[in-house]
């Protein structure tokens, strides 16, 4: 039963129809058709699509509109009339014309324009240009991936239990399952994701599901060069292209490859689980290291205490020895000083006694004195020199 009112205006009806239509398609849809025409207006792009096999007298037409940012990523070759293209977009209704259309997310040529000659040239180029020579290592833990794959591609196992670790963040950009422009589409999608601030990425995963033709866009030289350039910039590339009896050339260049998208999910989950295990082991190693450091610290403390005791004892013995030596030396020096003082006192005493009462009498000129009254005498003792005059001379002979 419908919950719509009994009577609606045309606008009300179309608005309601739009809501229900959008709800019915809860995600992007993929459409494969041929380009009928396209129009550019102020950066906005409108592409009219028709069926690969037109139906009857009134062929179907579907409008796909692109905003300027998305329109810039559409390659000119994909807009040539009668080109087979794959469009991804969300359902929309142009209410004032009562027309269903798509809001375009991506538009690319589909099918393979590859030839055996082009395939052989690509094989030669792998050797000559050393494509795939650089194979960047994966980070320990993959945290952020860029997934380039058709809308609806899933990576199943990637979300399985990672032992408490968060699954990686996946940034998805659409890529057709096959296209002669895969190289440029991959390069453009990586550049657009980086420009949108989604990067940097630990890994670029390029995938598609289902079987492919023996020669396809996945063998295209331009795609091989794009993958090689990414890896030379340090970005590891994983490819998962569903294939049955042959292996596309992109596997020879990409550093990492698995056969199916489901296998890619397991591969990524296994990588992160192994990283988680290694990180846990590292954590337990750190614990062991901490215990060992604690034990070493205790040993050092014990050794330090023992050394302190030994050093204190040694220093004590040295101090006692020095004190004894000081005393011995002091005794010897003191004895020497006492003896010296005795000799000095004896010498001084002897000289004092020897010179006591001794006087040398001369004339003023230092010669023999004139012995007569009134003559001048000079009397020298150890303590003084005296000039005096003779009062009286009493001769003994």
Partner 1 sequence: MSDTTEDFDAQLAAVERFIADVQQGSVPTGEAMRAYRDVHRPAIERLRAQLAEFEALLAEAGVDVQAAGEAGSGSA
Smallest gap, in angstroms, from Cβ of residue 334 to partner 1?
4
CA contacts within 13 A on the Cβ side of 77: 10
The only residue of 321, 348, 371, 393 in contact with partner 1, by rule CB under 8 A: 348
**Residue among 182, 257, 189, 186 nearest 221 (CA):** 182
The only residue of 6, 283, 358, 368 in contact with partner 1, by rule CB under 8 A: 358
Identify whether the C-beta of residue 33 lies closer than 8 Å to the C-beta of residue 62. Answer: yes
Smallest gap, in angstroms, from Cβ of residue 365 to partner 1?
16
CA contacts within 13 A on the Cβ side of 192: 21
Identify whether the C-beta of residue 35 lies closer than 8 Å to the C-beta of residue 47. Answer: yes
Tell me, by CB under 8 A, how many residues bind partner 1. Answer: 28
The pair of structure tokens assigned to 128 is 């000559």
Strand segments, DSSP code E, in the chain are 29-41, 44-50, 62-66, 84-94, 99-109, 144-149, 169-174, 203-208, 237-241, 256-258, 360-362, 376-380, 385-389
- Binding to partner 1 (CB under 8 A) within 315-334 occurs at 326-327, 329-334
Smallest gap, in angstroms, from Cβ of residue 309 to partner 1?
27
**Residue among 91, 282, 52, 250 nearest 258 (CA):** 250
Q: Is 4 in the site for partner 1 (CB under 8 A)?
A: no
306/332 with CB nearer partner 1:
332
Q: Is 303 in the site for partner 1 (CB under 8 A)?
A: no
Distance from C-alpha of 107 to C-alpha of 28, rounded to nearest angstrom:
13
Residue 198 three-state SS = coil
The only residue of 159, 311, 341, 371 in contact with partner 1, by rule CB under 8 A: 341
117/353 with CB nearer partner 1:
353
278/334 with CB nearer partner 1:
334
The only residue of 300, 301, 371, 382 in contact with partner 1, by rule CB under 8 A: 382
What is the x/- site pattern for partner 1, positions 239-278, by CB under 8 A? ----------------------------------------
Q: Is 344 in the site for partner 1 (CB under 8 A)?
A: yes
Residues that bind partner 1 (CB under 8 A): 326-327, 329-335, 337-338, 340-341, 343-344, 347-348, 350-351, 354-355, 358-360, 380-383
């Amino acid at each position: 039963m419908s919950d719509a009112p009994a009577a609606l205006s045309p606008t009300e009806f179309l608005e309601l129809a739009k809501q229900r239509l959008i709800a019915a398609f809860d995600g992007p849809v993929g459409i494969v058709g041929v380009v009928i025409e396209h129009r550019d207006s102020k950066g906005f792009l409108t592409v009219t699509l028709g069926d690969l096999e037109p139906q009857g007298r009134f062929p179907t037409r579907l409008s796909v509109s692109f905003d300027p940012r998305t329109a810039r990523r559409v390659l000119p070759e994909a807009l040539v009339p009668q080109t087979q293209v794959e469009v991804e977009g969300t359902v929309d209704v142009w209410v004032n014309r009562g027309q269903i259309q798509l809001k375009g997310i991506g538009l690319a040529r589909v099918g393979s324009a590859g030839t055996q000659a082009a395939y052989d040239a690509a094989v030669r180029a792998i050797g000559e240009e050393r494509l795939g020579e650089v194979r960047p290592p994966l980070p320990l833990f993959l945290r952020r991936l860029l997934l380039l794959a058709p809308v609806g591609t899933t990576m199943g196992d990637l979300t399985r239990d990672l032992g408490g670790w968060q699954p990686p963040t996946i940034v998805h950009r659409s890529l057709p399952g096959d296209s002669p422009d895969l190289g440029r589409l991959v390069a453009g999608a990586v550049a657009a994701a980086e420009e949108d601030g989604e990067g940097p990425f630990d890994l670029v995963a390029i995938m598609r599901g289902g079987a492919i033709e023996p020669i396809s866009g996945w063998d295209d030289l331009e795609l091989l060069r794009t993958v090689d350039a990414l890896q030379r910039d340090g970005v590891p590339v994983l490819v998962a292209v569903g294939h049955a009896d042959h292996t596309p050339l992109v596997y020879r260049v990409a550093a990492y490859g698995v056969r199916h998208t489901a296998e890619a999910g397991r591969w990524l989950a296994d990588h992160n689980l192994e990283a988680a295990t290694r990180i846990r082991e590292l954590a337990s190693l750190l614990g062991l290291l901490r215990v060992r450091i604690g034990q070493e610290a205790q040993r050092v403390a014990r050794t330090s205490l023992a050394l302190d005791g030994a050093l204190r004892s040694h220093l004590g013995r040295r101090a006692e020895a020095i004190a004894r030596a000081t005393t011995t030396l002091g005794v010897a020096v003191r004895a020497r000083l006492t003896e010296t003082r005795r000799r000095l006192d004896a010498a001084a005493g002897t000289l004092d006694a020897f010179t006591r009462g001794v006087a040398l009498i001369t004339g003023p000129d230092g010669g023999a004195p004139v012995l007569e009254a009134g003559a001048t005498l000079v009397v020298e003792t150890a303590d003084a020199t005296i000039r005096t005059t003779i009062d009286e001379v009493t001769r003994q002979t």
